[in-house]
Each structure stands twice: as C-alpha cells, then as structure tokens.
Amino acid sequence: MDLFTSATGNEYDEILSLRRELEEANRLYYIANAPTLSDREFDEKMHRLIFLENLHPEWADSNSPTQHVGSDLGKKNFEQVNHKYPMLSLGNTYSEAEIRDWVRKLPENVEIVCELKYDGLSISLWYEHGVLTKALTRGDGLKGDNVIRNILTIPSVPRRIEGEQWPDFVELRGEVLLPWENFERLNRQREADEEPLFANPRNAASGTLKLQDPNEVARRGLTCYLYYMLGDNLPGTTHSARLEEARKAGFPVSDAIRVCHSVEDVMSFIHYWDTERKLLPVATDGIVLKVNDLTTQQQLGYTAKTPRWAIAYKFPAEKQLTLLRKITYQVGRTGVVTPVANLEPVQLSGTVVQRATLHNEDFVRQLGIREGDRVWVEKGGEIIPKITGKAEDSPTDASPVPYSFISVCPECGTPLVRVPGEAAWRCPNETGCPPQIQGKMIHFVSRKAMNIDGLGDETIALLYEQGLLHDIADIYSLKLADIAQQERLGDKSAANILAGIEASKKVPWHRVLFALGIRMVGETTARKIAKRFLSIDTLQWATIEQLTSIEDVGPQIAENIVNYFLDERNLSILVRLREAGVQMESDQPDETAASDLLAGKTVVISGVFSRHSRDEYKAIIEQNGGKNSGSVSRKTSFILAGENMGPEKRKKAEDFGVRLVTEDEFLEMINPS
C-alpha cells in the first residue's frame, strides 16, 4: 500500500496502533539502545501517522509521538537539567522531490546552508562566563541528563572560550559520535568479553555517553561535531557566520558545509556526499538544510516538534535485488529455529552478501517471500544486511500455497513447538539436539560461568564430533591424550585446557548454577538464587512459591528451575559434576549472621553494590550492632563505598579523613575467616 493512500479499514485503530508502536520504538531506541525498527521503517510509520492525524484532526492527542521527541532520559543516574531552549528534532524526507518542494516554498533568494547529518546523539554544551559548565543530552526535549564528566573526555571540546565577542551565556549544539574505528574496536572487545554487540556506532555512542565511569568513556574514544549556536547577543547575523566564529574559537565544526544559492547547489551537495561520506571516519545518515539568515529563520518559526527553517534529507539505504535461492533453518544454542535466506551473492556497501536472517515465521509471511523470488537486500546504518521486500513481478505471486515453516528440527528430527506469545519455533530436545548440547557446553565453559581457559567453541565442536563430549559433565573426564591427539592441539594446549578444567572446580556455587544453563537463569538471578538456596540439594526441592519469593525470579523462571530438576538426564549430569569435585554448595558462611562486630560504629552507605542491595547492607549493619547514617560527618566510623559513590560524599570523606571500605572488605570485616 502506498504510504499516503487512505485505507478503507479502521483508521482510528491504525492511529492507535501506530502511536503504540512508535512509542515502543522510541523507548527501545533512546533508552535500551537496541532498536528493532530500522530508521527507514520508523520514519515511514511516523509519516503515515502524521498523514492520518492530519486527515482526522478530531482524533488528535497531545501525547501522540508526532507531538513530542523521543526521550533518552535515564534512570536518574545523572543530574537532570531543564533546557534553556527546547531541543527539537528535524523534519525529514527520503525524497529529493520533497527537498525541491521545501526549497521552492521558502522566500525567494534565501541562502540555504547544507551540512552533513551526523548519526550520533545530540548534545547541548553550556558556556557560562566563558567556561563549559554543562553538557546536556536531548532527554525528552525539555530537560536532559547532564553528562559533562563524559563530555570532558572528548579532547576536541573546548573547556573555555575567550574573547569579547562572547556573551555570558552561549549554548552550542552538536552531535556526539563514536568513530567507526573505535566502534569496531569496542565490539571486538565486547565479543571477547561475551557481551552483546552494539548494532551500530549510534547505539554504541549512546550507551557510552550514559556510562557512569568517565575513564571507560575516555577509553572508548568519543568525538563531537558542533552545528548550531544559541544565545542572546551572539556574533553574526547568519547561521554560517556563527559557525565560522565557533570554528575560529576552536570548536570542532565540520568542513563539509556549503552556503547554497539555488536548489541545484543543494542537489549537487547531496549527490556529492551520498558517495563521499563513506570515506568519513564517522557515521552520517543524510544532509541537513538550514535557512542561513537568522531573521528569516525567526520569521519561519517552529512547529511543536521541528523548526520550519530546517529539514533533513536522509540517504536511502543501499539496496539490491537478488535471487532468494533457498530458505534454510538454523538451530541456535537455545533451541530457537531461525529461517535464513541463502542468496545469490550480491555486492552491497563494499561487502558481498549471501546470507541474511529472516528472523521468524511471521517475518517471512509478512514479506510474502518464497524460494525462487527476487528479493531486496538492504544495508543501512544497522550494518547487518536485511531483506526488506520482494520484486513486484515475483514468480511465486500466483502460487496458492502459503509459506509454511518446517515442523521438525533439522538437526535432531524432534517436532518443533511454538510457545504461545512468542514468535519463535523451538526444538524442545534440550539434552539431545547437537547444537543445543554444544551450546550448553560453550555456555558452561564461558568466562562468566566456569571460565575454562582454552576450551573454545571450535575445540568443543571437535571433541563433540569425535564422541569425546556428550554433555557438560564429560568435560571432567577428558584425558590429556584425548585432547592432544586432536588436529591443531598439541600437548601444550591440552595441558593448558586440563589446568583450566581443574581450576574450574574452585568456581563458587552461584557461578556453577549460572553455568548449568537453566533457561532464563542469568548471572545475577543465579547469584540471588544461590544466596537463598545454599546448595544444589536444597535447590532441587525448592517449590515455585519459594523460588518466586526471591527478587527477580518470576513464575516462568521458577517453572524452568523446577522442570530442570524433573529431567533425569540433568540429575545424572549433576551427580557426575559433584563427583568430579565441582562446587555444588556455598562455602561462604551466612554473611548476615548477627554479631556485635560493629558495636559503636556509625556507617554511611554510598554507591551501588553487587553482592547485596543497599537495604540489605543497612540490615546487616544493624544486625552486627552498628548504626546507619545518611550523611558523612566527623563521627562517621567508615563509609561502605560501592561503585560510583557520590562526589559530595567522597569530598567530605576526604575532608574529615573518613576511611572508605569496599564491599568485599566490609563482608570480610563482619565475617572474619
């Protein structure tokens, strides 16, 4: 359906569902840094919603996502500050014709400044009396998070501005970015650390800017370009003159700026950068057009969300038509079966694409694609190629047979199940399906679980194929010769692997529980469960009620745990792990046992902790005879200091010479061994 044809269906329902969808997409984009819609999909849905709302003013709603910008405000980890001037977004289009139209409607002979549209996140820098005092994110457009400590890690951002021409208050706006090179380095590091990868530099920059540790921010290497100046009595009467002043004052202003006098000038700028931008060190996703003269800007004014004096042209994602040769199915480590498009190889943004995920059954059905179709492959800012549609005259258009997903697991032949409410088909044969068995082993040896050095994915696959590993317990029966005789593995790596296996017997109970790979039992949840159930023997008999009374454990997780212990095969694995010497119980005494070890002590808690919550620490202090206090004074005995302790408390602690005690030191203190 064309975007702007008015559907005959229920437009009110469509408006409501678009609003819901766009709100959720905003949340995922700005808060979770894990977008699910591509920019293009988002923009198209937004344009459709704007169209429908214009068609039906009677259904207007001031809470609609068309009426406000998405919010990136975090969970109050930063000081929130009201913007002096609201931070708006820009109207955008993918159509050159609309750009021509926009230019045509401007007053005659106005100059238009063309700039690159940097694809990072916007930042507002406040210079008060010449000194950089605040750096605010866009937030909800009206107030933002003050991330100045992180911005100060960017060397090109001036700490102060000097000269008579600057008024007491100057605001500069720009974009914070993570250059391609640093983005790739960061993702390589995250891969090694088994952390989820960032989908693109924008998400990586956004995640980085919201970190609490400026040292880590500095290591990642953000950069910044400034493109807008605000304030009273600023020098210059045009936008370009102001940017020039900013550049002279040492601000990082891009060179890729052109003052255009005609729509043809604008178009040539757009076409030039559409290819040239690929050589830039940072991500760009379009061109911004701005009316140069500031008085004309004022006359044109603003809508609720965007200035009328500026617009963005967005570059189309690169796309190609190619043949969908075959749909194959991949079984993941958790048993999820994913359809994969096997394509006739095609060149796209410098790489050859021959496979692309089709996500799940619904995705394939929505696209209406079948083997033998010619399909569109796109590569946008998301980096990973995707299939976005099929050619108009596809051979399967006339086919009456609907697409159907496979019904049995391609790896083990077990009938697949589709969990209600989930999009995925899953192979339920957790303990007998090869990729799932290997997946469990890979998880078991991973760094945050048993941390068995040297036993990587490939070695596991090799040993599995040779019949030396059938399940995680087999790892403890491996012999030096078994490993050493493998291709690419000599005596030295074999000895190394065995040493790693031996060392893993010391891994504490909560990590062993995580390593077992019970569905949905992550690192933190395992820690909490292990604290409540101090051994596998007590956990085995835990009821759903007991389990759900633990923080973070919902009914689904509880059920997964109970089911885990109902499976004979798991029980036999557990017996063998215990026999091998793996820790199946906590060797830590109950940390919260009462004592008078803190009698007469006044303790201040500050920061974030990993082993107990703040409230738990308060209780532990009292149980051990101590007193809690909210503020640091001369009477404070010590500060129980977690991560990211507040700067004020830190300063007072220094002033009064109060000792900082880490979480581990504290637990040691009340549990002397």
Candidate ranges 94-102, 112-120, 574-582, 621-629; the one touching ligand IVH (CB under 6 A): 112-120
Q: Does 511 participate in binding ligand IVH (rule CB under 6 A)?
A: no
Distance of alpha carbon 598 from alpha carbon 199, whole angstroms: 49
What number of other Cβ atoms are within 10 A of residue 210's Cβ?
Answer: 20
Please give the distance of CA 296 from its chain centroid, rounded to a whole number. 40
Bridge partners of residue 645, in order along the sequence = none
Taking every pair of Cα atoms in the chain, the longest distance, rounded to a whole number of angstroms, is 85
Segment interacting with ligand IVH, rule: CB under 6 A, options 11-19, 86-94, 526-534, 610-618: 86-94
Query: Is the CB of residue 335 less than 8 Å from the CB of residue 433?
Result: yes
Q: How far is the CB of 207 from ligand IVH (least distance, A)?
A: 16
Q: What φ, ψ does residue 358 adopt, rounded to 5°?
A: -110, 10
307 or 508: whose CB is closer to ligand IVH?
307
H/E segment holding residue 116:
strand 112-118
Q: Segment near ligand IVH (CB under 6 A), from 48-56, 88-96, 414-422, 651-659?
A: 88-96
Environment class of 174 (CB within 10 Å of its CB; exposed 0-12, middle 13-18, buried 19+) = buried
Minimum distance, C-beta of residue 81 to ligand IVH, in the bound complex (Å):
17
Instruction: Give the residue, chosen from 161, 256, 312, 577, that forms a contact with ligand IVH under the rule CB under 6 A.
Output: 312
CB 283 within 8 A of CB 202: yes
Q: How far, CA to CA in Å, does 414 sit from each of 303, 409, 457?
A: 58, 5, 24
Contact characters 248-287, ligand IVH, x per CB under 6 A: ----------------------------------------
> Can 649 be counted among the known catalytic residues?
no
Closest residue to bound ligand IVH by CB: 122
Query: Residue 262 — φ and ψ, nearest 5°?
Result: -150, 165
117 binds ligand IVH (CB under 6 A): yes
Size of residue set near ligand IVH by CB under 6 A: 14
Assess contact for 444 and 472: CB atoms under 8 A: yes
Q: Does 171 contact ligand IVH by CB under 6 A?
A: no
Q: Which of 45, 117, 210, 390 is catalytic?
A: 117
Q: Is 314 in the site for ligand IVH (CB under 6 A)?
A: no
Residues 6 or more apart whose CB falls under 8 angstroms from that of 518 comprise: 560, 561, 564
Residue 390 lies near ligand IVH (rule: CB under 6 A) = no
Extract the tokens encoding 582. Answer: 């793996």
671 scored as a contact of ligand IVH (CB under 6 A): no
Q: Does 373 bind ligand IVH (CB under 6 A)?
A: no
User: How far apart are CB 299 and ligand IVH at their closest, in Å?
Assistant: 15
- Find the radius of gyration of the CA atoms of the chain: 30
Q: Would you count residue 42 as binding ligand IVH (CB under 6 A)?
A: no
Among 122, 394, 436, 438, contact with ligand IVH (rule: CB under 6 A) = 122
Query: Can you spell out the DSSP letters for 325-367?
Result: EEEEEEE-TTSEEEEEEEEEEEEETTEEEEEEE--SHHHHHHH
d(CA 435, CA 511): 23
Q: Residue 88 interacts with ligand IVH (CB under 6 A)?
A: yes
- Closer CB to ligand IVH, residue 239 or residue 390? 239
Residue of 227, 269, 564, 609 interacting with ligand IVH (CB under 6 A):
227
> Active-site residue numbers?
117
Positions touching ligand IVH (CB under 6 A) are 88-90, 115, 117-118, 122, 175, 227-228, 288, 307, 310, 312
